[in-house]
Structure formats: C-alpha cells, structure tokens
Structure 1
C-alpha cells in the first residue's frame, strides 16, 4: 500500500494524475489511477513465487538486494534456523518442468545473483533486462557460472562500471555495474563502459558519447579469460588502457603459475599458494610491537610489503634499520608464541590491499625464522623446484628467490592483476591463475 501511495504522488507531481479529483485534459482521475495501481502493484516473493500475470514482461529494471544468504537473518532470535530454511527452499526450488530454478546457486551465494537468474527466467524471449549489481560479479571466480549463463544463453549487450559510485548511488561504498542484456540467443560482443562517473550520465542517451569503453568480442574475450567471461577493469587514461590491452594480449595464452609442468616445475609438481600460518585475530595475545632490545621472532603482515623507488621491499625493523620509531611497521610485528612455520626462506605476497590505488602485487623474500600473518600469501615449492632455484641463485636459495620475485613483480603481471582482480584482496585463486611466461634470462636456463 505504501508503494502505491508513493507512485500515485509521483504521478501527480509529473502531471499525469489529477490528485484533486476527476480527470482533466491529458490527466486521469485519482480514482482511476488508484484502480490501476491496485491491480498492477502487487507484493510477492520474486524468487520462490510465480509471476502474477499471464503475459511475461518485456522490460525488467531492478536493483536487487546485495546480501549473502548467511547475513539475511543476522541478529534475528532464530536467525540460524531461518537462514537454513531459506537456503534449503532456494536450493530445492523447481519450475514446472521439474528442473532446479537456480543453476548458479553455489556456496554462500549473494542474493542478487539469484534475482538476476530469476529475471532471465521471467522476462519473455527478446525482452530486455537492466540490473544494478556489485561490480565484483564481473571478475570474481564464484560468479563465473552466472557470467557463463549471460554470455552463452543470452545476449549480454553492455556493462556500465562505476568504481566510485557514491554520487550516482548514494550510500553504496563498493563498485557498481549496470548490466544490459536481451533474453535468449548468445553474446557475440559485449561493450564494457568504464570507469564511469556521474558526469558520464546523459539523460538523452544514457551515457555520454565520450565515455570510455572497450568492445569484448566473443573470440578474443574467451581466449583472454579461458571462457570464464570475466570483464577486465580498465583505467581511464587512453595510454594506460592501451597498455592493459597489450599486456593481456601478451599474457593470455601463457601457462599459469599453478599449472603442472610449466617452465618452473616441469616435473609436474604444482606450485602451491598458501595462506600465512597465523590468524591475527585469533592469536592477537601472542603478537606484540617490535623492540630492538629483546630477541624476538619477526611477525610479517601485509603492511611490511612496501614500494620504495619502484621496488618492492620487506620493510620490517628486524631487517631494515630505517624503520622509524612509531612507524606502523613496528606495531604488531613480533611473534611471542610457538613457531611451527616452515623452515627456510620463502617468497610471499601481501593478500590485503590498503587501497585500490595501491600496487596490487608485492612479492618479497621472507628470511628463515619468520612467522607470517594470514594477511600474507606465500608459495610452496617441490624439492625439485627448490633445487633449481638454488642453481639459478649460484648456490643460494635466497638469491634464486630474489630472481623469482623480480619475475613476479614485473609490470605486465601487475597490469594483469589490476585488470582481473575482483576486489582489494589478492586471493589464492588469483595468484594460482597468474600467467607465468618464461623470463628472457630464463630462455638459456634449463630447469
């Protein structure tokens, strides 16, 4: 009822309804408008319910809720039971033909994904959908099944990306994507517009003709993403955009870091990506500030990976005398508990970025005897690869790892990571899927 009243008032302000009584010229009366709204503005369950009219919609515009199933009933007295009941209903929902209604329901799914899939089912063939969703849908691995549905069973026409959407969508702090698709068919080309701001919005045409865009043709798009149909994050500057496209072109067909049998591990043992061994929240009682007076175990977290003069460095007071008193790198940098860390030096990367503008990949060699926070990822190698790195380092594993750091900190890999990263976390699967081209100085080096 409240929705009907708001619509009625809006129609009155627009000069379409005579709110004072009978109809006037080019306006309809209030009674007639209320009757139309009574039969056309209905309340229902869009996910589990059925479409209330006989005819399918030809256009659906929606901003669905952005909330995970596990958070839907957070704070409720019986929240756990309600969450499990809702999850069970959604997972077992079927259509008239007996098929499951939601094919993209994986894990602790965000509700907006279900609304998008349900919208495709409700809208008639060749109908249009415009939906406002988090821009993480464009790149996160868990959304790959949904992107596949958009590309292979529908015509995904366009995406508008607003990385900083506050002026467009007040109160929203994460990036926003506006999807445009036609139901049915398949996608041969999708136009991705972005990064966009409020200044790019044009009342007449939707977007200004000068808005930055990239055409994703099906063939090259499939090759770039290994048919996961992720959408690259592009910079605004035209020169930087060209660099991104060129870097993706150079790297797309290269073997991945975790693939068995790449140039680094031809023996077939995959490079493993591991999370740092200590959860900072759970073990906070054993983590302290650094003191130069006592013998301590260095505790390495994401803030210790810094960029100085263009190079990534491990800026920890145990190894860098230039860390000033009061610097953030001195706090929470000492481990006082039992140490079950792997022995020997390691190569590690920050897992949590302070800002989306920061350098994304920050690899550094971690000396033996350090303990890693769970805000850090590190690589685990087979014995054969370690022996090879020792050989590459002239008998020193540290030197071999430093050489590998330079490879992983290359400009092309940084560009790749920024283009395909889903959020401010450098996830394990992102590292595992990094292209791993043979470095120029490795061409003459046989592992």
Structure 2
C-alpha cells in the first residue's frame, strides 16, 4: 500500500521498577535551613547525607542492572530522565537485537525508549522505521528515531502509545514483526507542470464508488463518502515521469468541477513508497495548500476497483492565480524490508500518582465528563463527536502560585469515546497541582 502525506504515522517495554522522584538536594537544603535549638545541625547533615547516598546508590543499582539505561540519558532531557523507569528487556531474532531500555507512563499513555541493533550486517540505519509493531494496550501509536550510532549500528527509538485504559500495573506485550530501512528521500522535486497549460483541457473522467476505495485523506474525503460515487480522472491517459523517481509517475492530470486532480500510479517494489505534492511561490516558499486524496485500483477493462496502485490528489485552488504557484513534490522509498519476531512482556507503573476530577462541560458535538492530571500532562475524557476546530485551552495551576500552559498533543476518538492528551514540556509534580483552568473555567482537583 502507498501512503500519502496525511497517512504517515507516527508505533515497548516496561517493568515495575520505579525511579525515585525524591529531590534529594532540595530536601537536604531544607533540613539545613530549619531553625530549631534542639536539633544538632551537624548530626542532621550526617543523616541527610546518608539518606542522599542511599538514594543515589539505589538509582545506581537500578542503572547498573540496565547498562543501556545510562547510554540513553544524554539523549533525553534532564526533566524526562528524572522520571524514566529502567527496563532492560532484550529480544533477539534474525541477527538483530531489540532492547526496551526505559519508559514513563500514566494510566492512558506510555512513552517507551528502545534500541534496535544489527549484530550481523547493515540492515539498521538512520532511516529505520518500524512497520509492523504492536502494544497490547493503546490504540494510537507513534514511532520516531531519535538517535543513531554508526559505529555500533544501533538506532534508538521513541514510541508513544495513546488510548489505553488504566495502564498502571498492567502486564503488556510489545512486538515488532518488521521494519523498513535504506530510505531514499526526494524533496523539492520539480514536476515541470505549468498549471496554465492544463486549465482549458477537457478532462475525461470515470466513476469511483467510495465504498470500494482502499483509503484516503483530507477535508474533502468525508463529503466524497457522503456522495457515494465521485468522478476521478480516467486512468493512464498520461505518463509523466519525475526526476530520479522510478517508483511512481503521473498517470493523468486535469480539472474536475474546478478542482485540480493529479492522478499517480505507483509501480515500484517498495512496500511503503509514499509521497505528496505541494505548491510554492516564486521564492520557493511552501504554501498552505493541502490536497485531499483517494486510493483505488483500475482493472483490465478500465473500471475502478478497491485495491490498486493509484492515488488521486485533489486541490481546491479557488482564488489562486495559477501563474504565481509552482507544483513540487516530496517522495520517499524504502530500500529494505526486514522481518523478524521481536517480542517482550512488561508492566507499567507511573512514578507519581494521578489526580482527577469529574466535570460537565458541553462543547456542542461532545461533552467532557472527566479530567486527569499526571506527571506527563492533562487528559480530557468525554463522549460524542470530537470537533478538531474547537480544542479546549488548558492551563495548570500549581500550589506554589505558578502556572503552566500546555498544548494538545494527540486526540483519540472511538465509539464516541473521546480522549484528548495535553503534554507538558517538563514533568508535572501531580502532588503540587492545585487546579486546571479550562477555557477560563477553574476545575479544582482532589
């Protein structure tokens, strides 16, 4: 299957070992500043230092049992490092070692750090992309490579899993079945297409039943589904090749109902070849003009079918002067597809407790009924039809009088259950959270 720009998405292992969140040096300093004539400060200092040493040693013991944990600390921020849980679970197959190094989580979301190392060859590189992977909890996954060691052929990845329920204490299974590497990227591709040359061309079309398409995206896609049948360009009327790209070509281009249609045919062997078109101005600045897409096939008689190698990109260029915009492309092909069986089991346990409160806010198409605050951020839970155009604004109020503005990171909706995750730039001390300001309304937390 071929993926367009909107379809590129972002996919762990945890244990019950907990990293102390205790601020040793702040506590020592606080103790030293206590003004009591009864307490011997020298003795207090010795006690505090013993406590400090014990806690530091406990962290050291944890790290010692997971040697790779120390290697990952320089890659993440100091704030994230303070809440990471060492894991150190390893699975080897097909000459490749996967290690789940560390993680942090709350009840609804987990962030997992793992490494992939090729012990026998060069199948791991800086373009590594997990293709088929699963976590037994969660419904929305995102995977990205954050570091690559050329000498050891080791890639470090960050995986975010959202949409889980009560993850704390659950035994989870994480598995990788395949990954991609050897990526070839082609950006700012000159298409050589002049829109003024095709404005007056009469386009031949064919019907496409939206019940039989294999995918799609964009703002027009929902209306196409409501229509049931739409018109797309007749297949293979053209064969416009693009520089250096041999895995796809433009098979037709024209206007239908005043919208620009660009039909592409994907002919390469890559399992995840993908790409998209975009427009620039005369100074090569990318413009905010985004296509809607639909994926389909064409049979031997020239009729559309649900599976195949065609993607049609549709642009609404109303108000755009075709003489002032230029069509460019971004395309990517993966040279290697590696399969294996890497799997682990583990438990999740967040460092700090959560706070939550029941509430009742009506956002028109959906209702908010619960809010949760954890070390990771704020989760809004509700029911209805989520409207992406009306995201609530969130501010966290701390007991020391400070506030933190946090932004929406991910949204998940299934069977009218809605979960919005707002991530903090730094971990929140949930014990210090007093209330949450939601669109100007204060929600007190227990």
Say whether the fold is shared (TM-score over 0.5): no
Question: Of Structure 1 and Structure 2, which has the larger fraction of its residues in helix?
Answer: 1
**Structure 1 length normalisation: TM-score?**
0.25
The higher relative CO (CA closer than 8 Å, separation ≥ 6) is in 2
Task: Provide TM-score, normalisation by structure 2.
Answer: 0.25
